[in-house]
Homo-oligomer: A and B are copies of this chain.
Amino acid sequence: MKKIVILGAGRSSSSLIKYLLEEGKHSNWLITLADFDKAQAESKIIGYQNAVAVAFDIFNETQREALIREADLVISMLPAAFHIHVAKTCLDAYVHLFTASYVSTAIRELDEEAKRKELLFLNECGLDPGLDHMSAMQLIEQIRGKGGELRAFCSYTGGLVAPESDDNPWNYKFSWNPRNVVLAGQGVAKYLSEGYLKFIPYHKLFSRSQSVFVEGLGDFDAYPNRDSLAYREIYGLEKISTLLRGTLRRAGFCAAWDVFVQLGMTDDSFQMKKLAGLTWRQFTDSFLPKESGMSLEEKLANYLNIPLKGEIMSKLTWLGIFEDKALGVKEASPAQVLLKLLEEKWKLKADDKDMIVMQHQLDYELEGKIKRLTSSLVVKGEDPVQTAMAKTVGLPLGIAVKMFLQEKIKARGVQIPINKDFYDPILSELKDLGIAFNEKEEELKNQ
């Protein structure tokens, strides 16, 4: 019997849990689901004999050690900052570890010891990071295999709302950590364009979004992620001239979001005091210059040079930033005030479905011709529990765990799934589960 411990039974763990419970029925697995909220863990194993739910506090070291020592394999779905505590206990207890999070420096440093102890610490095996790596590497290898030379690699991912549940002018609802959405892009974005490094400061990021078309869904905006270059060496793309990774939003989102960036409403660096009693109208006005004889709406449109009667102003008006309604907070950063409003307006309702969209664009040269391979993925949520986000984060991890327990994975140490041994079987099973990319190839005019 194999003992699997899953740490964290939150929203994004649902599909992982269900997959392992189902697979565990005919394999000889005992699954322990551990969460700070025991009732939440219990609710996710109802009807399964091969699982137990336990209360778990990451800061209780004794409990953490006892739980991990019992296991053959631990899956950490906790916030990324906690993984290192789990990883160290796993090392001490000779237990394998799986996560869907980026490899931190601290985790990377455990590589040697993990290898020595013949343990696999697999990370970045969710959606983004995870599915993005695997699908990209498969395409890159496919092109290399036929002798093609890669010129450009652009890759975009977005967690969005499905068209059938899309009923607001922003065409957006939260399917992921709302705070991260509000703070997204702060810093400087770096990417490579035709051989040259490009830098975009935060205040230009959303006005410099690019258009991305996805068959069957239409147009999206894409803004570059903070560091598109991090995977240049890992993907083996040292010689590529264009390399960009970005985030997808529905067309028109970025121009409207840019208003908040320009105003300073996404700033999280200071606390505004004495907000009690202030209305949204007054709050919005505090980011605008004094101009006499203009309404707040005219002043904003004039300040940011946007049409008074246009899409952007409609989106802003719909959110309520021009309303005489109380903010309802006493002290908060501008970003926290905005977050509170958005959490209410962009909430996924009980019967709403979310959607994941991913697209890779690879330009390569083969036999004197330049070709573009476009590979797109669209995944929709089934219900509020089996969301597209939960499926795309959890299923790659679940499949990796199954393969490992079936002894099909030989790699040890700190790993990410960029080798064939990982991505071929994982992508193949995902396809069977309905998570399949749609490929298209066209010839580009020689440049």
Which residue numbers of A lie inside 8 Å of B, CB to CB?
A: 187-188, 193-194, 196-201, 203-204, 208, 262-264, 267, 269-270, 272, 282, 285-290, 334
Contact = CB atoms under 8 A, between A and B. Distances in A.
A201 B263 contact: yes
B267 A188 contact: yes
A272 B198 CA distance: 11
For A198, A199, A285, A289, the residue with the greatest tally of chain B CB atoms inside 10 Å of its CB is: A199
A270 B226 CA distance: 12
A111 to B, nearest CB: 25
Given A199-B287, A199-B334, 16 more contacts: A187-B269, A187-B270, A188-B264, A188-B270, A196-B282, A198-B287, A198-B288, A199-B264, A199-B272, A199-B286, A200-B287, A201-B262, A201-B287, A203-B203, A204-B262, A204-B264
A168 to B, nearest CB: 26
A196 B269 contact: no
Contacts of A264: 188, 199-201, 204
In the complex this chain forms, how many copies of it are found?
A: 2
Contacts of A194: 290
A254 to B, nearest CB: 14
A264 B201 CA distance: 5
6 contacts: A187-B269, A193-B290, A197-B272, A198-B289, A200-B264, A201-B203
A188 B268 CA distance: 10
A289 to B, nearest CB: 6
Nearest to A194: B290
Contacts of A199: 264, 267, 272, 286-287, 334
